[in-house]
Amino acid sequence: MNKKVKMILDKDFKIGKVDDRIYGSFIEHLGRAVYGGIYEPDHPEADEMGFRKDVIELVKELKVPIVRYPGGNFVSGYNWEDGIGPRELRPKRLELAWRSIETNEIGINEFVEWAKRVNTEVMMAINLGTRGIDAARNIVEYCNMPEGTYWSDLRKSHGYREPHKIKVWNLGNEMDGPWQIGQKTADEYGRLAKEAAKVMKAVDPSIELAVCGSSNSSMPTFGQWEATVLEHTYDYVDYISVHTYYGNEENDIGNFLAKSLDMDEIIKTVIATADYVKGKKRSKKTINISFDEWNVWYHSREADKKIAPWSVAPPLLEDIYTFEDALLVGCMLITLLKHADRVKIACLAQLVNVIAPIMTEKGGKAWRQTIYYPYRHASLYGRGYVLNAVIDTPTYNSKDFCDVPILESTAVADENNNKLTIFAVNRDQQDSLLLESEIRGFEDYRVVEHIVLENENLKATNTKENPFNVVPHNDGNAMIEDGVLKAILPKLSWNVIRLAKRN
């Protein structure tokens, strides 16, 4: 028997405008993300720069607006100068974060060229682990100064006459983590980040900066770290970074799908902390969130322990995603959208091969993992204003969470194109949901499509042999009757209901 849920959507009840960069992603010099992922010069599909054209097409299909680069833990030991100039002169380095050999065949200039091919912007991270203020100002000068200085003219001599105009920069990565090269206390990092920010904005006042928050919410200093760092940097930065990953190690689907509630609490905590510092400083500026690492990550951890160190592009962090992972990714996307007023940038970590929606085979195929689909749907259809949906849904309790809503949902109105999209996950393990939604202010709208991602096997995956094992269909039954949207949401399903105004 179907359980009933009710939702009210009103055109005038808005949370905030979606910043398109909320659908960003991440490419780190880690495993096969770069070498064998986006770049494989010997591949039959390689272009003139060695970039895989099949991967480019899969990335373009996602309409990724921004990609963070080059790390991640990698960046805390990275000398950016190693990746510029003639390739034959670039050094091979021991890469300590992931115990690999870095060839430096790909660096800033090549990555900017790849970003142009996939129609995205670059979010550049700088090294505040082993480097500092001097390297920070120099990299901005190299990338963004038009000409007439040492570093800008050096870029021109490397064949890049026009500046890269990189807008968004990360001030290091996870600097509170004991795994991080150059780990720092909040005061140590806050002071360094402030001074780096000052010189970077002196070189290019138009850039935006994201300062490191805690590596994750289980860190003992979570909250206090953000407060201390922002007290140092508040006047100089624009965003604070947030990171989180989730797994289903206990094979408890109810608890696993509830973990987006933890993500919601993390966001609320960081917002509250940032606003506390704002009040303390009597500032008129609001610091927003760059949620620049998020995903499911747990499948590959044991396999990674068995990989010998010091090889080029070892197969690290190659999670093979299941159908249930796609459901949680959908819930996490909905959570980000619910905070569109403060989450302005987010990066699904990562994009190719490394905990990624896209997988490749060396010399062979590229294919979409299960998580590709909710990410793609949100990016394509989730642009506009997020509505403050009022939802009446049954709940359940799990091992770590109470009052978990069976329906996880939000809606985005694209007023410019007279479109409305509802994203919904049914967490119920036994029953379909009968959704009834009032849609106030959307007269003469009709259902264009009801996309459903469902599968009887929670552990179903997509592989190179069977790349279309888990795919969405558009046979959902959503309809509008007397101004009320009605739809059956199958058990354990991701749903995208698209509406548009009649011509």
What length does the chain have?
503
DSSP code for 183: -
Question: Is residue 178 located within the same domain as residue 212?
Answer: yes
In this prediction, residue 1 carries a pLDDT of 59
Average pLDDT over residues 488-500: 98
CB 128 within 8 A of CB 175: yes
Whether omega for the bond prior to residue 357 falls within 30 degrees of 0, making it cis, is: no
Question: Is residue 362 located within the same domain as residue 480?
Answer: no
Buried b (16+ CB within 10 A) or exposed e, 412-448: bbbeeeebbbbbbbbbbeebbbebbbebeebeebebe
Output the domain CATH number for residue 436.
2.60.40.1180
Average pLDDT over residues 471-482: 95
Question: Is residue 332 located within the same domain as residue 360?
Answer: yes
Question: Is residue 336 located within the same domain as residue 465?
Answer: no
- Our CA dihedral for 440, 378, 293, 132, rounded to 10 degrees, sits at -90
Q: How many domains does the chain have?
A: 2
Helices 150-157, 133-144: axis angle to 10 degrees equals: 50
CB 76 within 8 A of CB 131: no
| Predicted confidence (pLDDT) per residue in 344-397, tens digit | 999 999 999 999 999 999 999 999 999 999 999 999 999 999 999 999 999 999
Question: Is residue 376 located within the same domain as residue 394?
Answer: no
Question: Is residue 447 located within the same domain as residue 366?
Answer: no
Question: What residues are annotated to the active site?
Answer: 174, 293
Average pLDDT over residues 45-72: 98
Question: Is residue 262 located within the same domain as residue 319?
Answer: yes
Range of the domain at 367: 19-381
| Whole-number Å distance between alpha carbons of 419 and 162 | 38
In this prediction, residue 2 carries a pLDDT of 77
DSSP for 89-154, written as a single string: GPPPEEETTTTEEE--SS-HHHHHHHHHHTT-EEEEEE--SS--HHHHHHHHHHHH--SSSHHHHH
| Whole-number Å distance between alpha carbons of 187 and 488 | 53
- The three-state secondary structure class of 52 is strand
Average pLDDT over residues 212-217: 97
In this prediction, residue 503 carries a pLDDT of 80
Question: Is residue 252 located within the same domain as residue 201?
Answer: yes
From 338, 362, 381, the end of a domain falls on 381
CA distances from 495 to 55, 266, 445 (A): 26, 25, 18
Question: Is residue 411 located within the same domain as residue 444?
Answer: yes
How do 66-69 and 479-481 pair as beta strands?
unpaired
Q: Residue 463 CB: number of other CB atoms within 10 A?
A: 12
Write the single-letter amino acid at 229. Answer: V
From 331, 352, 381, the end of a domain falls on 381
From 324, 349, 381, the end of a domain falls on 381
| Predicted confidence (pLDDT) per residue in 388-425, tens digit | 999 999 999 999 999 999 999 999 999 999 999 999 99
| Whole-number Å distance between alpha carbons of 52 and 446 | 40
Query: What average pLDDT does the chain have?
Result: 97
Question: Is residue 325 located within the same domain as residue 391?
Answer: no
| Predicted confidence (pLDDT) per residue in 117-150, tens digit | 999 999 999 999 999 999 999 999 999 999 999 9
In this prediction, residue 189 carries a pLDDT of 98
Question: Is residue 221 located within the same domain as residue 349?
Answer: yes
Q: Is the pLDDT of residue 222 over 70?
A: yes
Question: Is residue 92 located within the same domain as residue 68?
Answer: yes
In this prediction, residue 98 carries a pLDDT of 97
Output the domain CATH number for residue 205.
3.20.20.80
In this prediction, residue 357 carries a pLDDT of 98
In this prediction, residue 215 carries a pLDDT of 96
